[in-house]
Chain A
Amino acid sequence: MRGRTGAPATIDLSVRIYTWLLAAYPGPFRAEYGRHMTQVFRDVCRRDYSRGGLSGMTSLWARTSLDLVRTTAEEHIERGIEMNREKFVRWSGWALVAGAVLFAAGLIIGSFDSFDMDPIGGVDAVYEISQIVGLVAGQLLFVIGLLGLRAGYAGRSGSLGAGLLLLAVIGSVVSLGGLLVMSSVEEGWLVWMGGYLAMTLALAVFGIVALRRRVFSRWNFAPILAGVGVPLLFGIGMVGVSSVNGQAPEWGAFLAVVLTSVGLILIGYRMQAEAGRTGEVAA
């Protein structure tokens, strides 16, 4: 008995069922490859039918059913992971931008506080509270942003780049912890600065990797910009090059804040712009 296409009815029916089963794949995959998969399945049907008749078709369907179950699961998982990663990288990019703005604003507004060491309150309360909110919220957003940076770009940064991004994440977490305990633990500010220094140093070195490997589609200098200011400031402060008392000059601190913020804003902007293209490329 012949089907509508002139092929045996068994083949026509099998192809129709297979085409119907393709609905189990994710839409974009089905749209791109569904027609070609049907064509290949039709070719295999003809071959196996001519070789083994109905028993050949039974064997083909046994293999194809397993293939369908396994690969539909694979494609759905892969699609889910890609969608989640894409969203996370995009939003963490914005988090990095917002964090850089808040952090810089907190530091700059805090610099108007005329009495650094007094308890919170009094005439400078607005400056003090703005500084605390800006620093804590900004640092929290850095943690999220750097986690997204690692999730989106570690795969294309090599083992050194991925390690540096992990160090930057750890540094940002330590720094956030230092900020949170600063009011109750005397050494809190040391933890904060140590974490912040580790975060920025890791970013600066990652910038060299980014330039060599072209990790971003453009602005690969941005991590160096984000990371170089604070370590330089520490260096100047430690050797006392620019001041009599060994402290870094105020304009140096301002420059470091601006460099870090601009660098982080550029990285964040690139992350949200490239979020759809940051998937791992392993075959």
Chain B
Amino acid sequence: MAEVAQRPESFLPLTPAVFHILLALTDGEKHGYAVMQEVEEMTEGKVQMGPGTLYGSIKRMLAAGLIEESDDRPDPTLDDERRRYYRQTGLGRRVLREETERMAELTALARRKRVLAGIGSRSIPT
């Protein structure tokens, strides 16, 4: 079947799990546990995905063409070769960028409405 051209906007808004997985794969390919660790580190433990959420999201992202499996192994001697590695696709990168822009616009809107007034030094980049 010919690949159907999907516009990045048609995937928005992303679920938090899909957004974090795409973000975790920005630095390169990773296996499931590494993705989970990266998400926990990035969010300082605020987001902890279970294996069901992780692989349910991975299944849907593979079907949507946002990520793909990789045959490469960063260091085969250090790793279990039965692990599956995943990486972003071009579409996945575009979708992540669109979603980030969308959230930035929303944050800017909230700033103009002074929603963040009084929160103190905690700032959200726009």
User: Is A277 in contact with chain B by the CB < 8 A criterion?
Assistant: yes
Task: Determine whether the beta carbon of B36 is less than 8 Å from that of A71.
Answer: no
Task: Determine whether the beta carbon of B60 is less than 8 Å from that of A283.
Answer: yes
Task: Determine whether the beta carbon of B51 is less than 8 Å from that of A40.
Answer: yes
A-B CB contacts (within 8 Å), total count = 91
User: Is A39 in contact with chain B by the CB < 8 A criterion?
Assistant: yes
Contacts of B5 in A (CB 8 A): 213-214
Task: Determine whether the beta carbon of B52 is less than 8 Å from that of A70.
Answer: yes
User: Is A37 in contact with chain B by the CB < 8 A criterion?
Assistant: yes
- Known A-B contacts A39-B83, A64-B50; A33 and B4 likewise in contact (beta carbons under 8 Å): no
* A59-94 contacts to B (CB < 8 Å): 63-64, 66-68, 70-72, 74-75
Contacts of A214 in B (CB 8 A): 2, 4-5
Closest to A69 in B: B52
- Known A-B contacts A63-B50, A67-B51; A279 and B36 likewise in contact (beta carbons under 8 Å): no
- Known A-B contacts A36-B84, A283-B15; A156 and B53 likewise in contact (beta carbons under 8 Å): no
- B38 CB, nearest partner CB in chain A, Å: 13
Closest to B55 in A: A33
Task: Determine whether the beta carbon of B48 is less than 8 Å from that of A37.
Answer: no
Task: Determine whether the beta carbon of A283 is less than 8 Å from that of B64.
Answer: yes
Counting chain B CB atoms within 10 Å of each CB, the highest count among A36, A74, A213, A214 belongs to A36
The total of chain B residues at the interface (CB under 8 A) is 35
Q: Give the docked Cα–Cα distance between A44 and B48 (Å).
A: 11
Contacts of B111 in A (CB 8 A): none
Task: Determine whether the beta carbon of A67 is less than 8 Å from that of B52.
Answer: yes
User: Is A274 in contact with chain B by the CB < 8 A criterion?
Assistant: yes
* A3-32 contacts to B (CB < 8 Å): 25, 29, 32
Closest to A74 in B: B56
User: Is B28 in contact with chain A by the CB < 8 A criterion?
Assistant: no
User: Is B14 in contact with chain A by the CB < 8 A criterion?
Assistant: yes
User: Is B63 in contact with chain A by the CB < 8 A criterion?
Assistant: yes
- Chain B binding site: helix, strand, loop or mixed by DSSP? helix
User: Is A117 in contact with chain B by the CB < 8 A criterion?
Assistant: no
Q: Give the docked Cα–Cα distance between A71 and B54 (Å).
A: 10
Partner of B1, one of A36, A39, A217: A217
Q: Give the docked Cα–Cα distance between A99 and B60 (Å).
A: 35
Counting chain B CB atoms within 10 Å of each CB, the highest count among A40, A64, A75, A218 belongs to A40
Closest to A65 in B: B50
User: Is A1 in contact with chain B by the CB < 8 A criterion?
Assistant: no
Q: Give the docked Cα–Cα distance between A44 and B49 (Å).
A: 11
- A197 CB, nearest partner CB in chain B, Å: 30
Q: Give the docked Cα–Cα distance between A63 and B14 (Å).
A: 22
Contacts of A116 in B (CB 8 A): none
- A66 CB, nearest partner CB in chain B, Å: 7
Q: Give the docked Cα–Cα distance between A279 and B4 (Å).
A: 12
User: Is A187 in contact with chain B by the CB < 8 A criterion?
Assistant: no
Per-residue CB contact flags for chain A residues 229-272 toward chain B (1 = under 8 Å, else 0) read: 00000000000000000000000000000000000000000000
Q: Give the docked Cα–Cα distance between A213 and B2 (Å).
A: 11
Counting chain A CB atoms within 10 Å of each CB, the highest count among B11, B15, B32 belongs to B32
Contacts of B100 in A (CB 8 A): none
Q: Give the docked Cα–Cα distance between A279 and B53 (Å).
A: 20
Q: Give the docked Cα–Cα distance between A186 and B14 (Å).
A: 54
Task: Determine whether the beta carbon of B59 is less than 8 Å from that of A33.
Answer: yes
- Known A-B contacts A32-B59, A39-B83, A217-B2; A71 and B52 likewise in contact (beta carbons under 8 Å): yes
- Known A-B contacts A44-B33, A44-B36, A214-B4; A283 and B48 likewise in contact (beta carbons under 8 Å): no
A residues sitting closer than 8 Å to B (CB atoms) are: 25, 29, 32-33, 35-41, 43-44, 63-64, 66-68, 70-72, 74-75, 156, 213-215, 217-218, 274, 277, 279, 281-283
